[in-house]
Chain A
Amino acid sequence: MNPTERIIRTLEGKPVDRVPTFCAGLEDRTFNEVLGEPWLKTKTIFANPLIKSLLNNWGPKITKTFVQPQITAGMEKRIEAAAALGFDATWALYDETFVLIDSRTMARFTGALFELIDDGFGNMTYMYKAPGIKTREAFNAWPYWPDPDAVAHRAYKFFKKTLAKYGDRVCFCGQASAYGIQESLLWTIGFEKVPLWIRKEKDLVERFITMAEELCLKTSMAMLDAGVKIILQSDDFAFKTGPMMNPKMIESLFGPSYRRIIKSVHDRGGKYILHSCGDNTVLFDMFIDWGVDGLHAYENTSTVDIFKCKERHGDRVTIIGGVGIDYLLTERSRDQEIVDQVKLLIEKLATGGRFILGPIHGMSNMPADKLRVMIDACKKYGVYRTN
């Protein structure tokens, strides 16, 4: 059974030979440990006064030519490293959403600002900084709205190439330059202002959702055309103790879009995984009703109880994740603690199938060795017990 067969059968609730593993994205520190350190780290490049001046003066103009190829190469390394580590599946992300504003700031083309920071290991990474759009005027004047057809075309080319290189070693769960419809809205206008915008600027909120849906739909179709079998959409609907919004509001604002997207993916024979951080307990039934095949995260630092989730919906949807990144997959943990957690997750969640083990998220300080311990333990103890 090859990794893609193993993952697809698990998403369908069919028996497989062992519990599969899923990689929730690798950051630079981790894939450099696996593939070898680059001769020049990005922090050094960004610290160069000449480069800095170039970025400060010409950032948006040189993004496509000079910066995007670096980002794309990084995306490919993530996939290559996940395959090299022995994961069955990986979050395969193609990301061309950024425009470099200056040497410290990037804008996502859907209207949010991110700060470029040092990850502590000599690499540049980014963190959400602020909404890029604060008024109706700014919404209409935003200069970087994406062209979904062009984005989808480039996503197709990326996945065609990377699938040919790594597709036989690792199952791609593809996401291409389309972030979650809800989380993109939150980033773009700022979470604190979203409730007000839903009341006062409803037409703009609807325009945004329509645009984001088109982007998700077209990039999903492009990935399927390229040969990707599973679409993975990240959309953080919850925070630590519950949903960001009233579930009824989530259903009315975003439900129709997700239903259309998931149906289109299914119509073309694809599978659909939704990643949502936080405690989604009261939302899970709605996600399942939308048609998702797998749900990822079950964040251990939130109040979600993954074991109760198995009882409640483990026969209707595949549970993915379970391994914490706050402690277990950091340098602070002992290997035996990881093995114990893997055994516990397998014991409680693998019965009856529909479980894929993996980290609940990517993180910049995740040591590759800890992931190896997790994967080895899963392969050793992950015999699938079927009902």
Chain B
Amino acid sequence: MSNALQSVIKAIDELDFDNINNVVQICLDEGISPLSIIQDGICKGLDIVGEKFNTGEYFLADLVMAGEIVNEVMPNLKARMNSSDAVQKGKVVMATVKGDIHEIGKNIVCMLLDANGFEVIDLGIDVPAERIVNTVKEKKASFIGLSCLLSTMVGSIGEVVESLKREGLREKVRVFIGGACTSEQLKDEMGADVYSATAVDAVRTMEKMCGAMT
């Protein structure tokens, strides 16, 4: 691997916001393709950050910072990519469930999914089940990510699952849940597929499932 790509990985690993544009530009000047910078530099840097988060060396704010660093350079890299370069790992419909307007956790998951090569359709907050399922149908998404903080609104998760069943989509889509009031027990109670305690867990599980699907 070139020194320039190593520098991209290092900048993300060390959360070096001030240096990221510089090291990405060096990669581009050396003729490294934007796709390679993303796959071999940015994604690998994010893997290290994710690992450090899992082992307790990094914290949520560090994860957010890594996302900000990636956001800083992605528009430039995406603009330089050919349409044939745009390889997406999978499509994910993300939403905070109906009745709940908390979105910080959802936004962090969206940011990490996007940085890791997923196509994210973020429907925002307080989203009715019908709209989520219609979007899945229209975009042919493989995953739904539902965020829920309020214990008063957990029923909204079950509504999405029921709505998927009614539309004959249940077997085609994996439903992820996360947020303060969610748990393995709630996942089973509501008929969802995966409970993720952290944003990193959610992204990694989706990546594994993508691998299994392809």
Q: A: which residues have CB within 8 A of B? A: 115, 117, 119-120, 127-129, 190-192, 194-196, 199, 239-247, 249, 277-278, 282, 299, 301-303, 325-327, 330, 363-365
User: Is there a chain A Cβ closer than 8 Å to B152's Cβ?
Assistant: yes
Q: List 22 A-B contacts (CB under 8 A).
A: A117-B101, A127-B102, A128-B101, A129-B101, A191-B61, A192-B64, A192-B68, A196-B68, A239-B105, A240-B198, A241-B197, A242-B59, A242-B60, A243-B59, A244-B60, A246-B61, A249-B61, A301-B181, A301-B182, A302-B180, A327-B151, A330-B151
Contacts of A363 in B (CB 8 A): 151-152
A279 to chain B: closest residue by CB? B197
User: Is there a chain A Cβ closer than 8 Å to B108's Cβ?
Assistant: yes
Query: A301–B178 Cα gap in the complex (Å)?
Result: 11
Contacts of B111 in A (CB 8 A): 192
Contacts of A278 in B (CB 8 A): 180
Question: Which residues of B, 48-99, contact A by the 8 Å Cβ criterion?
Answer: 56, 58-62, 64-65, 67-68, 99
Please tell me if the beta carbons of B59 and A244 are within 8 angstroms of each other in the complex: yes
* Count of A-B residue pairs with CB < 8 Å: 80
- Given known pairs A240-B197, A365-B151, the reply for A326 and B62 (CB within 8 Å) is no
- Given known pairs A129-B101, A363-B152, the reply for A195 and B56 (CB within 8 Å) is no
| B26 CB, min distance to chain A CBs, angstroms | 22
Query: A239–B67 Cα gap in the complex (Å)?
Result: 18
User: Is there a chain A Cβ closer than 8 Å to B107's Cβ?
Assistant: yes
8 closest Cβ pairs, A-B complex: A195-B65, A245-B61, A326-B151, A365-B152, A195-B61, A191-B104, A246-B59, A326-B181
Question: Which residues of B, 170-203, contact A by the 8 Å Cβ criterion?
Answer: 180-183, 186, 197-198
Please tell me if the beta carbons of B108 and A301 are within 8 angstroms of each other in the complex: no
Contacts of B102 in A (CB 8 A): 127-128
Contacts of A327 in B (CB 8 A): 151
Contacts of A365 in B (CB 8 A): 151-152
Contacts of A364 in B (CB 8 A): 152
Contacts of A127 in B (CB 8 A): 100-102
| B141 CB, min distance to chain A CBs, angstroms | 24
Please tell me if the beta carbons of B180 and A301 are within 8 angstroms of each other in the complex: yes
- Given known pairs A191-B64, A240-B180, A325-B151, the reply for A196 and B101 (CB within 8 Å) is no
Query: A115–B100 Cα gap in the complex (Å)?
Result: 11
Query: A277–B180 Cα gap in the complex (Å)?
Result: 10
Please tell me if the beta carbons of B60 and A239 are within 8 angstroms of each other in the complex: yes
B197 to chain A: closest residue by CB? A241
Please tell me if the beta carbons of B56 and A196 are within 8 angstroms of each other in the complex: no
Contacts of B182 in A (CB 8 A): 301
Contacts of B183 in A (CB 8 A): 301, 326
- Given known pairs A127-B101, A127-B102, A129-B101, the reply for A243 and B60 (CB within 8 Å) is yes
Contacts of A119 in B (CB 8 A): 152
Please tell me if the beta carbons of A115 and B59 are within 8 angstroms of each other in the complex: no
Query: A325–B99 Cα gap in the complex (Å)?
Result: 18
B107 to chain A: closest residue by CB? A192
Question: Which residue of A129, A194, A242, A326 contacts B56 across the interface (Cβ within 8 Å)?
Answer: A242
Query: A277–B105 Cα gap in the complex (Å)?
Result: 15
Contacts of B64 in A (CB 8 A): 191-192, 194-195
Query: A327–B65 Cα gap in the complex (Å)?
Result: 34
| A201 CB, min distance to chain B CBs, angstroms | 13
Query: A115–B26 Cα gap in the complex (Å)?
Result: 46
| A115 CB, min distance to chain B CBs, angstroms | 6
Please tell me if the beta carbons of A196 and B65 are within 8 angstroms of each other in the complex: yes
Query: A317–B107 Cα gap in the complex (Å)?
Result: 36
Contacts of B60 in A (CB 8 A): 239, 242-245
| B104 CB, min distance to chain A CBs, angstroms | 5
B68 to chain A: closest residue by CB? A196
| B163 CB, min distance to chain A CBs, angstroms | 21
Most buried by A among B58, B59, B186, B198: B59
Question: Which residues of B, 87-129, contact A by the 8 Å Cβ criterion?
Answer: 99-102, 104-105, 107-108, 111
Please tell me if the beta carbons of B198 and A241 are within 8 angstroms of each other in the complex: yes
A115 to chain B: closest residue by CB? B101
Contacts of A241 in B (CB 8 A): 197-198
Contacts of A240 in B (CB 8 A): 180, 197-198
Contacts of A299 in B (CB 8 A): 180
| B22 CB, min distance to chain A CBs, angstroms | 16
Contacts of B101 in A (CB 8 A): 115, 117, 127-129
Query: A262–B152 Cα gap in the complex (Å)?
Result: 35
Most buried by A among B65, B67, B180: B180
Beyond the given pairs A195-B61, A195-B65, A282-B56, 12 more chain A to chain B contacts, judged by CB atoms under 8 angstroms and listed by A's residue number, are: A190-B104, A192-B67, A192-B68, A192-B107, A240-B180, A244-B59, A245-B59, A245-B60, A277-B180, A301-B180, A301-B181, A325-B151
| A100 CB, min distance to chain B CBs, angstroms | 18
Query: A326–B184 Cα gap in the complex (Å)?
Result: 13
A128 to chain B: closest residue by CB? B102
Please tell me if the beta carbons of B180 and A239 are within 8 angstroms of each other in the complex: yes
Contacts of B104 in A (CB 8 A): 190-192
Contacts of B197 in A (CB 8 A): 240-241, 303
| B171 CB, min distance to chain A CBs, angstroms | 29
| B5 CB, min distance to chain A CBs, angstroms | 25
